[in-house]
Amino acid sequence: MMVLGRGTSLLVFLIVILLQIRSAVGLNFTAGGHEVRCIERERQVLLSFRRGLVDDYGVLSSWGSEQEKRGCCKWRGVQCSKATGRVIELILQDCSLRGKLCPFLFELQSFR
């Protein structure tokens, strides 16, 4: 068993706290230099949700199935967990969207 000195224990504690703060405020760090990518099933759920909306002003033009739009974590209004890549929030107020809420949204496991 390794015994840590008081200074080392404090340093480890501070690192853990900083990681928690970073996660809470959503700072954009990458894991191992790799960008966080959205989960394919969740991308499909968001596309189903979009099909039920009327977007007169093209607010959701960044949402799509084309190759250049596959990273749903970069779509306007979509917030993903930096750690898991799961969709955690949709911020779409003041976007002049209308339509129906898609029941598939319940499949987003980490959605708030």
What domains can be seen in the chain, in order of their start residue?
Answer: 33-107 (3.80.10.10)
pLDDT band at 29 (very low <50, low <70, confident <90, very high): very low
- C-alpha 40/C-alpha 86 separation (Å) is 10
Which amino acid appears at position 38 of this protein? C
- C-alpha 68/C-alpha 45 separation (Å) is 18
The pLDDT value given to residue 50: 93
pLDDT band at 10 (very low <50, low <70, confident <90, very high): low
**More confident call, 57 vs 15:** 57
Task: Tell me how many helices (H) and strands (E) the chain has.
Answer: 2, 4
Mean pLDDT of the chain: 78
**More confident call, 72 vs 18:** 72
pTM reported for the whole predicted model: 0.65
